[in-house]
Each structure stands twice: as structure tokens, then as C-alpha cells.
Amino acid sequence: MRVVGFLLQILITGTIAKKMAQSLESSSSSSILSGSATSDDIFWLEAIKHQGKAAYNPDLSYQVFRNVKDFGARGDGVTDDTEAIKITPAVVYFPSGTYLVSKAIIAYYYTQFIGNPKNRPTLLATPTFTDMAVIDADPYIPNGNGAQWYTNQNNLYGLPFVLCYRNLIIDTTLVPPTAYGTGIHWQVAQATSLMNIEFRMSDAPNTAHQGIFMENGSGGFMGDLVFNGGKFGMWVGNQQFTVRNITINKAQTAIMGVWAWGWTFQGVIINDCAVGFDLTGKQSSTPRFPIPPIFIRTVAPSNNSLPVTSLVLKNIKLNNVSTAVDVVGGQKVLPGAPSASTAIKSWVQGNVYTGSNSKGTFIQQNIADPAIPDSLLNEGGQIFGRMHPQYADYHVSQFVSVRDHGATGDGKTDDTEAIKSIFSQYGTSNIIFFDAGTYIVTSTITIPAGARVVGEAWSVISGKGPAFQDQNNPQVVVRVGEPGSRGIVEITDIIFSTVGPAPGAVVVEWNIQETQQGSAGAWDTHIRLGGCTNLEIEQCKPGSAATGCMAAFMALHLTRDSTAYLEGMWVWLADHELDQDGVSKLTIFAGRGILSESQGPVWMLGAACKMQSRLDLDIGFTDVPRNLQLNISHFIIHNCSMRKNTILPYCKLRRRVTPYFQPYTVTLPYPFNKSSEYGDPDFPPDVTMAWALTVRSSTEIVVFGAGLYSFFSNYSQACLETRNCQNQIVNISSDSSVYIYSLATVSSTFQISADGKGVVNQTDNISGFTSTVTVWQPHD
Ligand SMILES: *[C@@H]1O[C@H](CO)[C@@H](O)[C@H](O)[C@H]1NC(C)=O
Ligand SMILES: *[C@@H]1O[C@H](CO)[C@@H](O)[C@H](O)[C@H]1NC(C)=O
Ligand SMILES: *[C@@H]1O[C@H](CO)[C@@H](O)[C@H](O)[C@H]1NC(C)=O
Ligand SMILES: *[C@@H]1O[C@H](CO)[C@@H](O)[C@H](O)[C@H]1NC(C)=O
Ligand SMILES: *[C@@H]1O[C@H](CO)[C@@H](O)[C@H](O)[C@H]1NC(C)=O
Ligand SMILES: *[C@@H]1O[C@H](CO)[C@@H](O)[C@H](O)[C@H]1NC(C)=O
Ligand SMILES: *[C@@H]1O[C@H](CO)[C@@H](O)[C@H](O)[C@H]1NC(C)=O
Ligand SMILES: *[C@@H]1O[C@H](CO)[C@@H](O)[C@H](O)[C@H]1NC(C)=O
Ligand SMILES: *[C@@H]1O[C@H](CO)[C@@H](O)[C@H](O)[C@H]1NC(C)=O
Ligand SMILES: *[C@@H]1O[C@H](CO)[C@@H](O)[C@H](O)[C@H]1NC(C)=O
Ligand SMILES: CC(=O)N[C@H]1CO[C@H](CO)[C@@H](O)[C@@H]1O
């Protein structure tokens, strides 16, 4: 079986399969291998002078960059390196080599595991390895009755903690096939990513191995992964996730989807697997292999006893696949072609809506919808994607450290002039390396066309001071490209922020236009507002005066001539204390999330415009831990208007939550003033809650998987019971052309409104906790 290049949106409802009975008691480690260290072709990140600081950490000797070999790991394939690898939050760097692992390596908050991309290190599980996974992002506490280290939906940016693992080979082939040999237990939430990882597993007929095990959480992005062997390449359940560019070879079931509110897979290749996607959850037994190859096993509503699995398949090529879509307990709804090829252009299972017609139609068939615009596609006709640049082929001498050139990153000193001077001197000739730290800027800095900017464990650039105080005269903190500029800008591993209050800060203004696909982009780069740096519990405890607790005018502005490739971006207004106790509730305000006026192309992939829970954003995402009562504010004014997008931007929306406090006792957009310059929407008396997404006079927008959630009304979650925390959530003008696929909403009476009038009634699309519109198209 071979499946190539598809874009797939799935939504599976149903409860999570029972927790795997898995002992966390690990066996004693032993070293049994006779491998040897590979010679290390040095990666610049290893060679560069390491002077990263945790700006607000009182421990001045705190070391951000940690080469595992300096901590006792040998990477020689012989020594058991487990203990050496368990070190605290930081950049944990693995030089090339083979690292024997006998017990799970625990993922700490705010940690990057980075292997040498020139010759990826191997984490090799010993034959007696019995822990849940070689890397465990959220360990179960032994004998803890299911208790875990972290709250899964809050893992990890809920605290200011982000995780990113890249450039690794995880090998469980020495673990007996019938044992539970798992690469990564990845039960994560916001601002996490996996990238450029290969999983090697047993492909014996009785194999029980799996590459990724994820029982729940609220993610997230992963991409550029290869899975070889295993019973499952991925065994996964999560509220939402975006997966780009994965190849799965010789697994029995490539992807086992146990539950989801909405997942998007983009660019997937499956070779020699019996089942491509098994989306039956626990509702049907796993087939006994071998079976004739099936692309998708699913469940569908032949009657109302089962929740609907909403499916959208686009641009899929199958080769020698007996059945394309098999409804378990039902029939083949889409046949395949043994020993031949099948192409699926656009196929849908679920409710389809058109324009302002409030009646949806359930279909399981091909649909005629427009092709995704060429500007968004690569040469192979697939949605364009680009891996986080790592500059593996560059020499360390090509990097300029900002700390070597006068910037302090100490969170106190004004680094504006130093940074300006570094960009003007080296911005287009060198790669600018922001050593870990917090860099304060007091006026606009510009990242010029031609610049490549790399952070270290999310270096923070933060706007502060009088320049950013006037909401009637907002000023940009970081300008990406001068208006009208074209070329390259690559930003990786940076957080943009403000030191509050900063009601007049446009945190990032993005002007750069690409000169080739994806040449203007940001990867694993986030916007974080509040929760630390002066918008903390002293200033912004619930009930504090709003004016002192305004974190920004706007998080991100994509201007008219810009283009952007944004992968794994998390735009987040903090709802709780970050620096101090990590849990106290805050009331913080930000005016606007993301405003895009770009003519495209814009790709927002994965967490791309994710505004996280505590914020309300325009395009965005949020996940709210339902088990926590948070008392925070969010972005107030909602406008993801994509003005005059004539060139078909591709917009991927993910989780987003309406401010918990709304409806507020004051009229929106309090405490911000309506700005006509930035095209703020109106808030007529019947609109008491923020919009998640508004689109006006914009064309050729594709939303492939969005989760827009409303979990609170006036701080109370009682509305979840009655599914009416708010009335409307998405507003699309009738002069726009927007295609929405797989929109999951929570507790919004209407899922989609046209010209301000509710169209899609959630009651018609109940899908467990969420309601799902499988397709909404603008007109007939
Ligand atoms: C997450 O999954 C684990 C294991 O199945 C389960 O014990 C836990 O209740 C789940 N948590 C949530 C919030 O769904
Ligand atoms: C896809 O992932 C593979 C494996 O990591 C990588 O080699 C390849 O370059 C990626 N493709 C793109 C377009 O990034
Ligand atoms: C409904 O569908 C499920 C799954 O196909 C099946 O098990 C069940 O018997 C069906 N119920 C009725 C009443 O047809
Ligand atoms: C098609 O797949 C079957 C396994 O289901 C395999 O036996 C056969 O060789 C394949 N045919 C081709 C032409 O690849
Ligand atoms: C939330 O904040 C409001 C005012 O901002 C306050 O009155 C209320 O007591 C707070 N609720 C909780 C649960 O802290
Ligand atoms: C802007 O909003 C603030 C706070 O809500 C208010 O005090 C002020 O009068 C407004 N200014 C204008 C010009 O509307
Ligand atoms: C959103 O912003 C655009 C300008 O970017 C503006 O034209 C529009 O009126 C705003 N409001 C809505 C509801 O779209
Ligand atoms: C919010 O809840 C509080 C306390 O329950 C109540 O006094 C207030 O009237 C409510 N506000 C709105 C706008 O419903
Ligand atoms: C909804 O969108 C329409 C069309 O752009 C606009 O006229 C209307 O004001 C919007 N409604 C709200 C409440 O923003
Ligand atoms: C949504 O549909 C349900 C079921 O038909 C109906 O009872 C309810 O009144 C509708 N809601 C609105 C706001 O029209
Ligand atoms: C396609 C779909 O989601 N259909 C469901 C919408 O909600 C109604 C009410 O719960 C269900 O009966 C449909 O199966």
C-alpha cells in the first residue's frame, strides 16, 4: 500500500481508550551494546560560545546550553546514558553518537532537545527497557492512580514552558517486539513541537511497538518525521494537532487516531502498511493482520448510535489499496483499487453547508470545491511546507552573537541601540544569534529583509516603556521588514513580548514579502503577553484596574504587501502568573490578536496563529484547561480580517477561546477604544462576546481545521452544560470567499455567522463535546 501527499482533516469523537496498563517501574539498566560513537561533524550550535542566560533567574550560574556529553553522557552506544540525560530545563544538545537509554528520559518544561542535524544522534533503548517511552513528556507517577506530572492540556505553555525536540533517531528495535517499545510519550499542549525525528521499531508480525503514544492533550504541531516499523506509527488522541510531512513505512497501522476534536495531516506518505488511518477509536477491534490494505477505517452515522467521524480528504493518491474508506460495521463508502492507483480529489464525510443556508446536508462522497490556490502549493501540487531552518551547513563564524555585540539580554538594560546597530551592521550578512535572555527594547526595532534570526531556548525580545503606552497612537515593537521590502526573513526560536503595561504596542508588524515560497517565515516563534514582567499578580490580580493591565494593542499585524509562512506560532495572552507561583489568576487585556491584511500567500500551519487559552484571538487557538478555573481576560477586539486577499492565502486556524470574563459588565471593546485605522469590528449591543474570527471583503481563504472554543461566561462554566457560553463566534461577510473545512466549536450557539446573522446551528452538528461543521462553502 502506498499513499502519497494528502491533506486530510479528521475528527473523531468518542472517549479515550483506556489508559494502557503500563508499569513505570523500570527494570535495572544494563549496557549490552557494542556500538561506537560516530565522529561528530560539528554543528554551529555546539561550537558557538555559550553565554545564554535565564534573564530573571537569580542563579547567575544557571546554564542554558547543556551538551549532554558535558553532563556525563558518552554517546558511545555502550554506556547507559539515562542519568546523564536527565538534566533540568534548557537546551539539551546531543552531539552525534548512540546513547543507550534504559529508562525514560523525562521532558521538562521549557526544554529543547536538539540533536546534531548533520548526523542525528540515536537514542537506543536497551533490550530491557520497560518504561512508557524513551522520551516521556508527561510521566505517570508510579502507583499514582493515573496521576501525572503535568496537567495534560496545560502541558506546556500553560507555564511559560515550551518543548521542542528535533534531530533525533529513536530506536527501539532492541526491545523485544512484544514488549511495549515506544519512542515518545507525547501528551502535550501548547507551543510544543517535534521535528526531524526518525523512529525505528520492530516490524515483526507480532510487534507491539509504536513511534508516538499520545492519549490526550491540547497541541500542537509536529512535522518532518519518519516512522519505520511498529504496530502503530502513531497512536494518538488530542484535542487538535497539525502534522506536516510525515512518512510511515512498514507499520501495521500507520496512524491510530483514538479521539480528536480536529486534526490536520498535511503531506503524508504511507508505504507498506495494512491500514493507513484507523479512526474507529475503541469502537471496533483492531483487525487481525494481514488484511487487504485499507486507507481509512472509520465509523459513520448509519444510525445515531455512534458519533460521526467527520472526514475531509483532499488530493490523495493511493496505490494498490483495496479499500479507500471503510466504514466499520457499514460498508465501503469509497472503494480502492488493488494493484492499481486511485486518486481522490476532494471527498467528505459529514455535514456540508452553503452560504447563508442554515440547513446542512450529510454526505459521504466527492464534492466539487475549488482547488487550493497555486500560490499555496509546491511543485508537486501539495500544500507548501518548509522545515524550520537550522543552518546545519553554515560555519559557526557566520553567526553573530548579539551578546558579543553589546546587547545584554538581562531583562533590565535597554538593548534597543545595540540591537539596531547589530541589525544594521550584520543583519543581511550574518545569522543573528540571540543568546538566551530577555532583550528589552524601548522603541521599534526592524529585522531587515535578508535577515536570519535564531534564538536559544526562546530568547525574548520585549517592548517596554513610554513609546508603547498610547493606544490611540500604537507603535510597533518589532517590525519584520520595512514596508514594501521583499526577500528572506527567517525567525526561529524567539518569543516576542512586552513588559507591561503596553496598551499601545503592536508587538510584531510583519511587512516582508517572500521572493520564493516560504522565504519569509517564522518557526517555533511565539508572541507572549503578560504573566510576567510587570503584568503579574501584584498589578493584575482579578479585579485590578484595566488600564494598568493592558499588555498590547495588537499581537501580530500582517500588512497588505506581506506574505508569511508561520509554523508552530503560539500567540498567547497569559491568564495566570508565570514568574512567581505559576498558577495565580490574572486579569490582563490585549486589544487585538492577529490582523491579516495580506494579499497572500499566508500559511499559518500548526499552531500558526494560535492564541492560547487565555486569550481571545482573531485567528487562533486556545485551549482552556477545563479543570482549572481561570479568571482572566483575553484579547478584546476580534478581527482576523483578511482584507482583500486576492492571492489565496491558506489560513490554518486552531484553538482559541473567548475571554472567560465576558460578557463583561462594561461594553466591549473596553478597555480599548475602537480603532478604525486597524479596522476594528463593531460591538453592537447583542454582541457581548469577542469574535473568534471575522472575515470581511476577503477572497480565496481556506481554513483547513479550526477549533474555536468558548468555555466560560462571566467566569462560570455552567454554560458548558447548556452549550451556550456564547451566541456567535465566526462572522464572515457575504462579499468574501472563504472555504472552511472541519470547524469544531464549543458552546457557541451558532458556529458560523454570515453578515452577522447566525447560520449554522451547533445543535445540528453535535459531535460529543464539540460541534463540527465538516464543510462550509460561501455560495452555490
Ligand atoms: C488523559 O488520558 C489519561 C489516560 O487515558 C486519562 O487517565 C486521563 O483522564 C485523560 N485526561 C483527560 C483530561 O482527558
Ligand atoms: C520532510 O521530512 C523529511 C524527514 O525529516 C525531510 O528529510 C524532508 O526534507 C522534509 N521535507 C520538507 C519539504 O521539509
Ligand atoms: C448502529 O451502528 C452500529 C455500528 O455500525 C451497530 O453496531 C448498531 O447495531 C447499529 N444500530 C442499529 C439500531 O442499527
Ligand atoms: C499489492 O499489495 C499486496 C498486499 O496487499 C501485495 O501482495 C501485492 O504484491 C501488491 N501489488 C503490487 C502491484 O504492488
Ligand atoms: C474574577 O475577577 C472578578 C473581577 O475581575 C472578581 O470579581 C471575581 O471574584 C474573580 N473570580 C474569581 C473566581 O477569582
Ligand atoms: C479610550 O479608552 C479609554 C479606556 O477605556 C477611555 O478612558 C478613553 O476616553 C478612550 N479614549 C478615546 C479617545 O476614545
Ligand atoms: C476588520 O478589519 C478590517 C480591516 O482590516 C475592516 O475592514 C473590518 O471592518 C473589520 N471588522 C470586521 C468585522 O471584519
Ligand atoms: C456575572 O456574575 C456575577 C456573579 O455571579 C453577577 O453578579 C453578574 O451580574 C454577572 N454579570 C453578567 C454580565 O452576567
Ligand atoms: C459581521 O460582518 C458583517 C459583514 O462584514 C458586518 O457588516 C457586521 O457588522 C459584522 N457584525 C459584527 C457584529 O461585527
Ligand atoms: C438550534 O436548533 C435547535 C434544534 O432545532 C432549536 O431548538 C434551537 O432553537 C436553534 N437555535 C437557534 C438559536 O435558532
Ligand atoms: C454529521 C454530524 O455531525 N451529524 C450529527 C449532528 O448532530 C446531530 C445531533 O446530535 C446528530 O444526530 C448527527 O449525527
pLDDT of residue 154: 44
* 663 alpha carbon – ligand 8 mean position (Å): 9
Here the cell at position 672 is 480599548
Q: Where are the alpha helices (DSSP H) in 75-216?
A: 82-85
Burial code (b: 16+ CB inside 10 Å, e: under 16) for 426-436 equals bbeebbbbbbb
Do residues 325 and 241 touch, judged by C-beta distance below 8 A? no
For residue 636, is pLDDT > 70?
Answer: no
Please check the confidence at residue 651 and state whether its pLDDT lies above 80: no
Q: Judge if the beta carbon of residue 715 lies within 6 A of ligand 5.
A: yes
Distances (CA, A) of 285 to 1, 31, 205, 233, 326: 21, 38, 17, 18, 14
Distance CA 518, CA 516 (A): 6
Question: Residue 719: pLDDT above 90?
Answer: no
631 Cβ inside 6 Å of ligand 5? yes
Query: Mean of the pLDDT values across residues 710-715?
Result: 67
Spacing, Cα 457 to ligand 3 middle (Å): 51
Compute the average pLDDT of residues 617-621: 25
- Any atom of ligand 5 within 6 Å of the Cβ of 628: no
Overall average pLDDT of the 581-600 stretch: 70
Q: What is the pLDDT of residues 41-83, one digit of tens each?
A: 889 999 999 998 877 777 777 788 888 888 777 777 777 766 6
At residue 357, the pLDDT reads 95
3-class SS string, 540-588: HCCCCCHHHHEEEEEEEEECCCCCEEEECCEEEECCECCCCCCCCECCC
**Are 9-22+59-369 and 397-777 equal in CATH topology?**
yes
CA–CA dist 422, 406 (Å, integer): 9
Q: What percent of the chain has pLDDT over 70?
A: 75
For residue 293, which ligand has an atom nearest its CA? 4
- Separate counts of helices (H) and strands (E) for the chain: 5, 51
**What is the per-residue pLDDT for 218?**
78
DSSP one-letter code for 192: E
Supply the pLDDT for residue 629: 18
Q: For residue 686, which atom of ligand 9 is closest to its CA?
A: 13
**Band of pLDDT at residue 307, cut at 50, 70 and 90:** low
More confident residue, 354 or 670: 354
State what percent of residues in the chain have pLDDT above 90.
Answer: 41
Q: Is the peptide bond before 220 cis (omega within 30 degrees of 0)?
A: yes
Query: Which residues have C-beta atoms less than 6 Å from ligand 1?
Result: 16, 19, 146, 152, 215-216
Render pLDDT for 80-134 as a digit per residue (tens, 0 to 9): 766 655 454 578 899 999 999 998 887 776 778 899 999 999 999 999 999 999 9
pLDDT for 428 beyond 90 = yes
Higher-pLDDT residue of 633, 554: 554
The pLDDT value recorded for residue 632 is: 26
Please tell me the number of the ligand nearest to residue 473's CA.
6
3-state secondary structure of 257: strand
Distance 244 CA to ligand 2 centre (A): 9
Strand partners, 80: 100
User: If you average pLDDT over residues 675-691, what whole number do you get?
Assistant: 70
Q: Where are the domains of the chain?
A: 9-22+59-369, 397-777
How much is the mean pLDDT over the chain? 78
Whether residue 768 has its Cβ less than 6 Å from ligand 11: no
Name beta bridge partners: 34. none
Q: How confident is the model at residue 383 (pLDDT cuts 50, 70, 90)?
A: confident
Q: Which residue ranges have their beta carbon within 6 Å of ligand 4? A: 292-293, 320, 339
Give the mutation target among 387, 490, 523, 603 for probing the ligand 2 site: most ligand atoms within 8 A of CB.
387
**DSSP annotation string for 480-544:** ES-TT-EE-EEEEEEEEEEPSP-TTEEEEEE--EESSTTSEEEES-EEEESSSTTSSHHHH-TT-
Instruction: Please provide the distance, in angstroms rounded to a whole number, between the alpha carbons at the two ends of the chain.
Output: 37
**Of the residues 763, 764, 773, which should be mutated to test ligand 10's pocket, given the most ligand atoms within 8 Å of the CB?**
763
**CA-based nearest residue to 607, from 322, 277, 222, 281:** 222
Q: Please check the confidence at residue 410 and state whether its pLDDT lies above 50.
A: yes
- Point out which residues pair with 603 in neighbouring strands: 565, 650
Strand partners of residue 495: 460, 526
> What separation in Å is there between the alpha carbon of 541 and the centre of ligand 5?
9
Of 15, 19, 149, 256, best ligand 1 pocket probe by most atoms within 8 Å of the beta carbon: 19
- 761 CA: nearest ligand 10 atom: 1
Q: What is the DSSP string of 596-630?
A: E---S-EEEETTTTEEETT---SS------TTS--
Lowest mean pLDDT among 8-22, 121-135, 290-304, 672-686: 8-22
Measure the CA–CA gap between 442 and 696, rounded to whole angstroms.
Answer: 34
CA distance 551 to 641: 21
Which strand (E) or helix (H) includes residue 594?
strand 589-596
Please write the tens of the pLDDT for every residue from 3-31.
Answer: 543 444 433 322 222 222 222 222 222 22
Task: List all residues 6 or more positions away from 762 whose beta carbon is below 8 Å from its beta carbon.
Answer: 723, 745, 748, 749, 750, 751, 771
- Give me the pLDDT at residue 584, please: 55
Spatial separation of the C-alpha atoms in residues 52 and 437, rounded to whole Å: 6
- Higher pLDDT, residue 610 or 750: 750
Q: Is it the case that residue 397 has pLDDT exceeding 60?
A: yes
Residues 590/571, Cβ–Cβ less than 8 Å: no
Helix then strand then coil, % of the chain, to nearest 5: 5, 40, 50
For ligand 10, atom 12, which residue shows the shortest CA distance? Answer: 761
Using DSSP's 3-state secondary structure scheme, residue 262 falls into strand
Residue that is written with C-alpha cell 525505528 in the block: 200
565: pLDDT strictly greater than 80:
yes
pLDDT number for residue 339? 87
585 ligand 5 Cβ < 6 A? yes
The finding on whether 714 has its CB within 6 A of some atom of ligand 8 is: yes
Alpha carbon nearest to ligand 7 atom 8, residue: 679
Overall average pLDDT of the 444-453 stretch:
98
Q: Is pLDDT of 496 > 80?
A: yes
Whether 739 contacts 777, CB under 8 Å: yes
616 vs 601: CA distance, rounded Å: 24
Question: What is the predicted pLDDT for the residue at 618?
Answer: 27
DSSP state of 424: H
| Beta carbons of 652 and 608 less than 8 angstroms apart | yes
pLDDT surpasses 50 at 405? yes
Domain at 397-777, CATH homologous superfamily: Single-stranded right-handed beta-helix, Pectin lyase-like (2.160.20.10)
The ligand 7 site (C-beta within 6 Å) comprises 595, 597, 639, 641, 643, 679, 681, 694, 696, 731
- Closest atom of ligand 4 relative to the 320 alpha carbon: 1
Nearest 10 degrees: Cα torsion 641, 596, 155, 228: 110
Looking only at the bridges linking them, the beta strands covering 232-249 and 210-214 are parallel
pLDDT at position 366 over 80: yes
Say how many Å lie between the CA of residue 308 and the centre of ligand 11. Answer: 7
Write down the pLDDT at residue 299.
75
Minimum CA distance residue for ligand 9 atom 1: 756
What DSSP assignment string belongs to 199-224? EE---STT---EEEEE------EEEE
The cell for 133 is 517511552
In this structure, which residue's CA is closest to atom 2 in ligand 10? 763
Distance between CA atoms of residues 325 and 364, nearest Å: 10
Mean pLDDT (whole number) for 757-777: 92
Nearest ligand to the CA of 351 is 11
3-class state of residue 13 by DSSP: coil
Q: Which of 299, 765, 775 to mutate to test the pocket of ligand 11 (most atoms within 8 A of CB)?
A: 765
Q: Whose CA is nearest to atom 2 of ligand 7?
A: 679
pLDDT of 650 above 80? no
- The residue whose CB lies within 8 Å of the most ligand 4 atoms, and thus the one to mutate among 3, 252, 320, 341, is 320
More confident residue, 357 or 69: 357
In the sheet with 750-754, reading across from the earlier edge strand, the strands are 693-695, 730-732, 750-754, 757-761
- Of 329-333, 661-665, 729-733, where does mean pLDDT reach its minimum? 661-665
Asked whether 303 lines ligand 3 (CB < 6 A), one says: yes
The band of 387, judged by pLDDT with boundaries at 50, 70 and 90, is: very high
Q: How many CB atoms lie within 10 A of CB 341?
A: 13
Cell of 519: 522565504
CA of 578 to the centre of ligand 8 (A): 28
Topology (CATH level 3) of domain 9-22+59-369: Pectate Lyase C-like (2.160.20)
Which of the pair, 59 or 156, is modelled with greater confidence?
A: 59
Q: Residue 770: left (phi > 0), alpha (psi -120 to 50), or beta? A: beta
Q: Going by CA atoms, what residue is nearest to atom 6 of ligand 8?
A: 714
Cβ–ligand 11 distance for 363 under 6 Å, the answer no
**What ligand 3 atom has the least distance to the C-alpha of 328?**
5
> Is the predicted pLDDT of residue 663 greater than 70, yes or no?
no
**Could you give the CA distance from residue 773 to residue 261 in angstroms, rounded to a whole number?**
11
Q: Are 512 and 487 in contact (CB under 8 A)?
A: yes
Question: Which residue, among 133, 97, 102, 100, has the nearest Cα to 115 in the 3D structure?
Answer: 97
Atom of ligand 11 nearest to the CA of 301: 14
Residue 472 pLDDT > 60: yes
Considering only CA atoms, give the Rg of the chain.
Answer: 25
Whether 245 lines ligand 2, by a CB cut-off of 6 Å, is yes
pLDDT class for 640, splitting at 50, 70, 90? very low
Residue keyed to cell 524550520: 388
Per mean pLDDT, which range of 184-198, 231-245, 338-352, 563-577 is the poorest? 563-577
Q: Which ligand has an atom closest to residue 147 CA?
A: 1
* Res 641 pLDDT > 90: no
Nearest to 232 by CA among 210, 199, 257, 213: 210
DSSP 160: T
- What is the dihedral angle through the alpha carbons of 129, 135, 138, 142, rounded to the nearest 10 degrees? 20
**Closest atom, ligand 1, to C-alpha of 17:** 5
